[in-house]
Amino acid sequence: MDHRQLGQTDLKVGELALGTMTFGEQNTEAEAHRQLDIALDAGVNLIDTAEMYPVPPMESSWGLSETYIGTWFKRSGHRHKVVLATKATGPGVHLPHIRGGQSTHSAANLSAALDGSLRRLQTDFIDLYQLHWPDRPTNTFGQLGYKPAQAEVPPKLEDALRALDSFISAGKVRHIGLSNETPWGVMSFIQLAERCGLARMVSIQNPYNLLNRSFEVGLAEIADREHAGLLAYSPLGFGTLTGKYAGGARPANARISRFSRFVRYTNEQGLAATARYVELAREFDLDPAHMAISFILSRRYVTSAIIGARTEAQLHHNLASVRYPLPKELLKAIDKIHAQIPNPCP
């Protein structure tokens, strides 16, 4: 597995990272530990989690993803081999069970979030601490259109950045990053860092896949020119790009089968595009999942694609994607489909 520079840091991370939002809901603690072992053996060193995981978020299970990683660190002694990334929950989502709903990006809330993550993860520091989503009204998680509140309080980005910078000074965090951010948000944080002499955001964790290439409009240039690479999540679009949901199929225990709320990648246009991509992969004698992940790795502004899995077999299969770089003629064919059905699942 190739390794790529994480922003302007001295860290190199595998081109595939392990996402852990199934730990605690779709995966037991033992299964989570086994996935971590498999990923590390395959060359993965970036492990991504969040204080609100697993997903779907529920009071009965929140924090378990971090907890399972923490018990794995204690059992294996592998903390020094891992670039550990986690995220602080943001406001606006109904999560009253997390810190009593106190999730704006104030210094006090961020400090409480970080200390909780450190405790569950059984570590003294986080390598990459990310803001899970913005502390302001914006179009995240598939929402379209910009609809700011009429009496919106100006975003206090500087307060959040100063708090994050203080965590670095205290040795609790090595680097900071953003997630589910907009071009305005990323550039505002970068400019604040330069103007105020504060820590710089080194990465952007946003959705990016064959069904949602909206990152390419605005954010890709920022990621490339400002050296804040993309950590691409949902590379398989909730598994739809494997083709396993074709024809309305709902495999037992699969995410979309279990949780009806996950409809982002199953609208009419998304299903039509998926069918085209699956057919194209097979024309080139490739597995659809390998093609979908390898496409992401072909973008120079991508630092790492975050893969997740419910089973060991799925994890092994997704890890194999690095062995299948895509030829130019296949990339051109992908772009042709994209031009005909652009971003059907934003």
Helix (H, G, I), strand (E, B) or coil at 263: coil
Alpha carbon separation from 10 to 167, 210, 321 (Å, rounded): 19, 30, 26
Cα 46 from Cα 82, distance rounded (Å): 6
For residue 183 the two structure tokens come to 């071009």
In the chain, what's the furthest Cα-to-Cα distance? 55
Q: Does residue 258 contact residue 223 with C-beta atoms inside 8 Å?
A: no
**Which DSSP state fits 100?**
G
User: How far is the C-alpha of 235 from the C-alpha of 5, rounded, in Å?
Assistant: 20
Scored b (16 or more CB within 10 A) or e, 2-14 reads ebbebbebebebb
Q: In this structure, are residues 21 and 50 in contact, taking their beta carbons and an 8 Å threshold?
A: yes
Q: Which of 53, 208, 277, 301 is catalytic?
A: 53
**Distances in whole angstroms, Cα of residue 267 to Cα of each of 90, 104, 113, 232, 343:** 27, 32, 35, 21, 12
The helices-and-strands tally (H runs, E runs) of the chain is 11, 10
The type of residue at 16 is L
- Using alpha carbons, list the distances in angstroms from residue 230 to 33, 129, 257, 296: 26, 15, 29, 10
ω before 56 within 30° of 0 (cis)?
A: yes
Has 301 been annotated as catalytic?
no
DSSP state of 168: H
* Count of alpha carbons within 13 angstroms of residue 335, beta-carbon side: 10
Distance CA 157, CA 159 (A): 5
Q: Which residues are catalytic?
A: 53
